[in-house]
Structure 1
Amino acid sequence: MRAGILITLLAVSLAAAAAVRAADDAVAPPAAKVAPQGSIAKEPAPPPSVTVIGARDAHGILGRDVRSPTDEDMGRIVDAIVDREGTVRAAVIDFGGFLGVGSRKIVVDWNALRFGGVASKSDSVTLELTKEQVTAAPEYKEDTPVIVLGAAGRLQPWDFEH
């Protein structure tokens, strides 16, 4: 008789435990929607904005030939330099040499470049400086202070100390 009572108590305990567990599952939200304790559930990021620029309104400049106003070869644009705010400040031009031998890179003020006739990849950019000015410009080397060649009175010092 004692064994019968124990079996009955065990059966009742198991039934009660199953009922409690079923009640907990019904009350709790699905696990996928529950954020970890102490964190805030994040909403999905909004889609990015889209801007459409017409093919006639914008063109890439890297690799473009650079010419003087008198149509002298001034090199080609190989890089652009931006400040901390993302404003384009200057262009790096690979100048001189023949087939890459003897050439050097110089930096020119962005405002000294004219992009009027760049409708096709074969069109060049005009640099408002003379060949003599460009020849006398110091060479650009990465990880050294940048010396920017530009028209007189147009340049502002860059303050990167902050």
Structure 2
Amino acid sequence: MKRQASVLIASALLLSAPAFAQTTETLPTTPPAVDAPATPTPVVPDATLGAGTVIAPEGYTAVPDFSTVTAEQVQGIALNGPAGESIGQVADVELGADGAASGLIADVGGFLGFGEHRVKLGFDQVRVFSNADGDMVAVSDLTKDQLKAMPEYVSPET
């Protein structure tokens, strides 16, 4: 008897539910004329940058001269790969004998600081971009797997 009551209640609920009619819509054969969104401008600093082209993230422009930023500004910024995916984080800036920045040190992989692979990226392998708010991001055309295959960075002894 309880089972029959349950079936009757379920049937009543289904029958009392609102019915949604399906509507069909004819789509126009040609899309309306609209301004196309601006495509990111590729930045090709030189022919040696990995596969060749690094595209600036939307709203960002390339930092043309690395001497205009400090190490503190780039430490901890995201390192993105060729498809815009996060592949690591900038840990530090390496300085050359002349005191000028010679490359970025990046942590790749790992989780919560464990298992990270630290590599040095020359400025022919990575570009830094900033937006109007001063936010920065580093972009490389190397993949996470390519970075993990690079030799581990060892800090020079001072």
TM bucket, shorter chain: 0.3 to 0.5
- What TM-score, normalized to structure 1? 0.47
Higher strand share: 2
Work out which structure has the larger RCO, using CA pairs closer than 8 Å and 6 or more positions apart in sequence: 2
Give the alignment's TM-score, normalised by structure 2.
Answer: 0.48
